[in-house]
Amino acid sequence: MKICVLWVVILYILVVVNGVHITKQPYRTAFHFQPLKNWMNDPNGPLYYKGVYHLFYQYNPYSAIWGNMTWGHSISHDLVNWVHLEHALNPIDPYDLGGCFSGSITILPGGKPVILYTGADTQIFQSQNLAFPKDPLDPYLKEWVKSPHNPVIAATDGDIDPSNFRDPTTAWKTTDGTWHVLIGGKIDGRGMAFRYESKDFINWTRSEKPLHSSVRTGMWECPDFYPVSVNSKDGSENYLETVNTKFVLKASFLDHDHYILGYYKAQTNEFEVETSDFLEGNIDWRYDYGGKFYASKTFFDSGKNRRILWAWIIEADGRANDVKKGWSGLQSIPRVVWLSSSGKQLVQWPIQEIESLRKNKVEIQHKELKSGSMFEVVGITAAQADVDVSFELPNLEDAEQIEPSWTDPQLLCTQKNASGEGRFGPFGLLVLASNNLTEQTAIFFRVFKNQSRHIVLMCNDLSRSSLSKDVDKTSFGAFVDIYPLQKNISLRTLIDHSIIESFGGEGLACITARVYPVLAVDKEAKLFVFNTGSLSVKISKLNAWSMKAATIVPFMKRRKRPIKN
């Protein structure tokens, strides 16, 4: 009875107070974060403050397409269930009338948070600006006040393009107490992270050299720079540590979030790249190898000593459908990020709190998947599920030989799609599948070998994901750095109506997809395990759960009571 009353109240708030028109929305997610309506993109300034998680984000209050950039603001106690608050920043000042663009939050001495964000004027010339909480004792940080010193960093140097000068990182202190911050940009097509220094967080000067730059990338958006512990999954926020610490430099460009690892010397402000640079050689580290994961941001969660990663998940069904739906964009499931045991790359895994939404567990163990076989996983809600499966491969000496030219995993996945037949693979999952498999999204593996080792390829095949012609059906792939002779091949997949987040090799490779099935929606969606390879594989274990919906409470502005005479 209480639940029914709660839903009546929420529906009343949605319809009457917020003016939301509720219609059937088959692509609306149940446990991913998104506003009730309109456009959302980059996560901004994620923060854990006085026991409360904060997520700020780029938001258009008036439309389902980009524009009127405002900082939306929502809070949570578990990173799963959220309450929307009033906007934190609005584009109302001369330096940000063109939009309050992306930025970060830094905690100043004494524990006071400060927003450093990009403002664009009416000519879209970009500068960096400050905002402080009106009441730092308020754990919800409901009101923010812009600094009278704004803009504090302007693109006054002649070599900086003022229309490509944005997205400041979280700032950090070096050994002499100086603050440092990175700002994304480019000079003559060379992408870079400009570095600025300050003693008081108000007066900033540009360093002689950028922290890093690359001729292969073009403009850097949403840079991020942070330490990761060696031989530990614990997060770190100590930029002065040099022992057992590496540093991650991430930049968003060419529609993906790329990163490199290296060592940072706070005394000299030098970042030494450990191996190859962005897009150099055969190494191309990305947070996510899908095509709709972008503009990510991390923060250190001091409550649980971990580093959390968020990203904007982009729609893939066109602007006209965004307008029709009345919304566009969502956030990825928050991921914990740490350094792999090899020290060569990062690992990502959904936060443990998301498991609180699991129900109706289905378990399968020690099941052989013969060549050409497939079976349906029943007993769960396939459109809203969490699936964790582990595959065991016998007789790996029979794996097919990989050609030396097969160095591009995305191209390889496109050419050798889910309907092809190899030896070991394709094997994996068919998700958001219709009853007759007219619609299906495949997430699968293929295993090859060369002269020295076995190579695991992870793919998604979106070619049959939807009957709609408006949908981007590009497939993606990645090589997973695991040794199947020593370890089973694992795949965890979170399915939420129009988004599929897959984690291969326990988080060594991640692929996110947006899909918009016409037939396989809600109760009509099905989940299958398949093997079209010529050799058998074995399911060591499969655990699958239906997922409950997260609670996302809309903002309701309190109306002032009339004054009685």
Q: Is the peptide bond before 151 cis (omega within 30 degrees of 0)?
A: yes
Three-state DSSP class for 550?
coil
- As a whole number of angstroms, the distance between CA 260 and CA 270 comes to 14
- Give me the phi and psi of 307, to 5 degrees please: -105, 130
Distances (CA, A) of 347 to 228, 301, 344, 370: 11, 17, 10, 31
- Write the DSSP assignment of 8-29 as a string of letters: HHHHHIIIIIS-------TT--
Provide the token pair at 77: 């106690």
Pairing of strands 52-60, 38-49: antiparallel
DSSP H or E stretch at residue 325: helix 319-325
Give the list of residues 6+ apart from residue 1 with CB closer than 8 angstroms, or none. none
What is the distance of C-alpha 168 from the center of its chain? 18
Structure tokens at 195: 């570095």
Number of Cα atoms under 13 Å in the Cβ half of residue 178: 16
Among 42, 288, 301, 317, the one annotated catalytic: 42
Q: Please say if 42 is a catalytic residue.
A: yes
How far is the C-alpha of 528 from the C-alpha of 428, rounded, in Å?
8
Rounded Cα distance, 227 and 536, in Å: 43
H helices of 361-499, in order, are 409-415
Tokens coding 55 = 């997520």
CB 52 within 8 A of CB 76: yes
Find the DSSP H helices in 397-547: 409-415
Query: For the stretch 109-146, what's the b/e string if a residue is b when 16 or more beta carbons lie within 10 angstroms of its beta carbon?
Result: eeeebbbbbbbbbeeebbbbbbbbbeebeeeebeebeb
Interatomic CA distance for residues 200 and 251, integer angstroms: 27
Strands (E), 244-290: 245-253, 256-265, 270-273
Catalytic residues: 42
